[in-house]
A and B are shown apart, each in its own frame.
Chain A
């Protein structure tokens, strides 16, 4: 039991998560941007600032600056990598799949393929109070898409 708790912790804060958290990707502001949004969780002070420059319908450049806990920061950094090069409709799908992974059951094999590295965040499911930390970048993304 005690060991389980420790293992869960190591799953949540895996090397990939801590790496993204320590060296966030795509953290430069993208200017000019076609899509942008800012997200805040006033309860813990987590913040996400997102800019996306489109080329035709594809996310050519993504910029994301995040403040707060490691789960939020890792999620933002990984999201920025996952979005780059994707079409708008693929981005919408990915956001849906990501949300489902955290809110629902473990993803299917197909979904895992779509999510790629993002699946390391599925352990957040075991820490219900932290789900909103992992989702903040994604709800910011949804705001950006909604304009």
Chain B
């Protein structure tokens, strides 16, 4: 196991102060902080071998190409993809899912087919499928939730049916923290011949994820939530499906031969990577994956689970708030949404901010989920490897101050100026 205080030294931003107080960064589900080696990888690229990939015969271009493809290998290995070519670089999870919807989705989902999502999807795994369903005259079905915030699978066979072409769901919910039963859903999908898309935006950063073991056909993920820079992410596609898929964007890099009236496609994965790619950020994502692999994803998950357990225990003691999502850390990631019926999350968030505690407030890009829960917004703290019990204590104590501050007017603690 690793020493959190040692890890913290690798993240320059964690040394900074906000309003004169040490930053307590608890907005990791939105984006993670970056270790020095990731920042250094960017600098190295721009200072030492900045060059376009795949096209040059000169030394710098070859070096850049090697590093760029090496990063793809690292990421592929990290998620258990059998081949590096089965990982396509994208900007983020959202782009990965849109790429899939606009290529495989349009070509394979036909009138009368069914697409299944869940009530806890991020907009990015819901809205693209609405569009495919509309365009293809297919049906979009939404698996409901239990009160606890887990999938209600009691009636699963009426959702996943022989008409189902795709089951698309998040591995870990960004709004509830719920870890979904991937293997069970994949098995159900297999039984009816449907494909499975896993939204790994929240799981890949915080737990071991192996696409082969999980037996999914597609997986989308974002670099920026797993210590890599913004603007880089990936889409894993099972090789036999990828070989059949039509290109997404057309132009340079993705072609093999071009005539005035036609073109042929480059090899995988370049076929799906038109134009000059995001070289620097891809290479830096390789560095992020190195960093996480050195920590060991089992250890990352262990830390996350322990800290989550601690936070849940402490936060449950605060009577005025409702914690959302499952209370069992075996089926919960390091995401802690909470809610007070009287005090709007924005007010809580503003109060915490002034104590240098960064949390997120709002609908977290899951409006259908909020609607289903009868809420419009929640406050959400989310943890990562560099967070400590002391930071959770700080959150709890300032949250109590905030509840007192906004609570009963008579009891409002007037501060001396």
Contacts and interface: CB of A to CB of B under 8 A. Distances in A.
12 contacts: A2-B20, A2-B21, A4-B20, A5-B354, A8-B354, A10-B415, A18-B406, A18-B412, A42-B363, A44-B362, A44-B376, A133-B346
A79 B415 CA distance: 28
A45 B376 contact: yes
Contact of B20 (A5, A22, A45): A5
- Tell me whether chain A's interface is mostly helix, strand or loop, or mixed: helix
B376 A1 contact: no
A130 B367 CA distance: 20
Contact of B409 (A4, A7, A22, A43): A22
Given A9-B350, A18-B412, A44-B345, A1 B20 contact: yes
Of B346, B370, B415, most buried by chain A (CB within 10 Å of CB) is B346
Interface string B322-346: 0000000000000000000001111
A13 B354 contact: no
Contacts, number: 65
Given A44-B345, A69-B344, A18 B409 contact: yes
Interface of B: 19-21, 343-347, 350-351, 354-355, 361-363, 367, 370, 375-377, 405-406, 409, 412, 415, 417
A19 interface: yes
Nearest to A47: B376
Contact of B417 (A1, A7, A12, A127): A7
Given A44-B376, A70-B347, A70-B406, 16 more contacts: A1-B19, A2-B19, A3-B417, A4-B20, A5-B21, A8-B354, A9-B351, A13-B347, A13-B406, A22-B409, A42-B367, A43-B363, A44-B345, A45-B376, A71-B346, A133-B346
A10 B406 contact: no
A22 B367 CA distance: 27
Interface in A20-70: 22, 42-45, 68-70
Nearest to B343: A70
A46 to B, nearest CB: 8
A45 B417 CA distance: 33
A19 B347 CA distance: 15
Of B344, B370, B409, B417, most buried by chain A (CB within 10 Å of CB) is B344
Contacts of A5: 19-21, 354-355
A102 B370 CA distance: 30
Nearest to A43: B362
